[in-house]
């Protein structure tokens, strides 16, 4: 689908939406800070693990490991007898006990219900802020509102963008592109990303740089971007933008140290079911972006 949009004049309703969203707009530094606080409060035992130089901490199994590369610069798969063992699902409380959604087992019943031949961790060098593109660099204006969502797959760098979808105020998809990472994909995490090997192979795909160039054509310094935990999407896009509305902040969890999921918000606020993992198709970034836009339209009464 890729680039579909032609910038046009906006109706009075859209101008009203732009105005009504001002009280929810935060800059990137504030959004990143609130996300970091929430993340630290929920990392549990990971807070006490010191990662030695040259080692990585797997975000799935919490094991320290050293990344070994083959002649092509790709990570070597783990030995069959020493695979990464983890629970892919989140914990949820039921009758005073915590259970994993993936297997319905109680917390600490066993290390995991799933194995994989690669550990997962982020390469700190990959999030080099000097390599970000910034909407603040230009003087052009586009006082519009868009919602964005990205799907990610696992590479040696961590979570890399493999699809980005953007919708406008009318909940129409104006940009939808598959993105091919520069490095080998180790896990497509299809049950969450909706991305498969065949999907990327058939394409068409774009490089992240091409996506950034596309977005710069209509996302200007005064454009409002809506997203759920939008810091993750901007990180995946390597994009710096300071007109942000984060639905995870606008609709806070009753426990200030946690965040409501987009799926829960869609169910409770919009009476809609999304991210139906039972289908095996995973998330849909276009659907998630539309949901973010609908949540803010609901919030401001439009």
Q: What is the pLDDT of residues 1-33, one digit of tens each?
A: 555 544 444 444 555 899 999 999 999 999 999
Q: What is the pTM of this model?
A: 0.89
Q: Which of 100-114, 126-140, 156-170 has the lowest mean pLDDT?
A: 126-140
Q: What is the DSSP string of 186-238?
A: SB--HHHH---HHHHHHS-EE-HHHHHHHHTTT--TT-EEEETTHHHHHHHHT
- pLDDT band with cut points at 50, 70 and 90 for residue 43: low
Question: Would strands 158-167 and 145-155 be described as parallel, antiparallel, or unpaired?
Answer: antiparallel
pLDDT at residue 8, as a whole number: 42
Is 194 in contact with 282 (CB distance < 8 Å)?
yes
In this predicted structure, the answer to whether residue 64 has a pLDDT above a threshold of 60 is yes
- In tens, the pLDDT along 65-81 reads 999 999 999 999 999 99
Class of domain 2-39+126-300: alpha beta
Q: Where are the domains of the chain?
A: 2-39+126-300
Q: Give pLDDT, residue 5.
A: 47
Q: Which has more confidence, 110 or 279? A: 110
Q: Give residue 90's pLDDT band: very low, low, confident or very high (50, 70, 90).
A: confident
């Amino acid at each position: 689908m890729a680039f579909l949009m032609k910038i046009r004049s906006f109706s009075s309703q859209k101008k009203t939406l732009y105005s009504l969203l001002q009280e929810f707009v935060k800059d990137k530094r504030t959004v990143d800070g609130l996300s970091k606080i929430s993340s630290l409060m929920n990392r549990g035992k990971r807070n006490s693990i010191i990662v030695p130089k040259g080692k990585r901490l797997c975000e799935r199994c919490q094991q320290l490991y050293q990344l070994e590369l083959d002649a092509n610069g790709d990570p070597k798969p783990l030995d069959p007898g020493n695979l990464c063992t983890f629970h892919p699902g989140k914990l949820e409380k039921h009758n005073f006990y915590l259970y994993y959604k993936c297997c319905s087992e109680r917390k600490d019943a066993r290390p995991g219900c799933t194995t994989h031949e690669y550990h997962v961790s982020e390469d700190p060098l990959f999030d080099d802020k000097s390599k970000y593109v910034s909407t603040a660099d230009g003087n052009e204006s586009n006082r519009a509102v868009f919602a964005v969502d990205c799907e990610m797959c696992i590479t040696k760098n961590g979570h890399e963008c493999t699809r980005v979808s953007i919708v406008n105020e009318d909940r129409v998809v104006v940009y939808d592109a598959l993105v091919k990472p520069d490095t080998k994909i180790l896990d497509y995490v299809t049950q969450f990303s909706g991305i498969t090997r065949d999907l990327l192979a058939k394409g068409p795909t774009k490089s992240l740089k091409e996506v950034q160039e596309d977005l710069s054509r209509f996302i200007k310094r005064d454009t409002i971007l809506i997203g759920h935990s939008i810091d993750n999407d901007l990180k995946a896009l390597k994009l710096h933008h300071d007109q942000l509305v984060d639905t995870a902040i606008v609709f806070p969890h009753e426990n200030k140290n946690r965040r409501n999921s987009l799926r829960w918000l869609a169910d409770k606020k919009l009476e809609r079911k999304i991210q139906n993992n039972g289908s095996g198709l995973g998330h849909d970034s276009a659907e998630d972006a539309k949901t973010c836009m609908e949540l803010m339209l609901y919030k401001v009464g439009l």
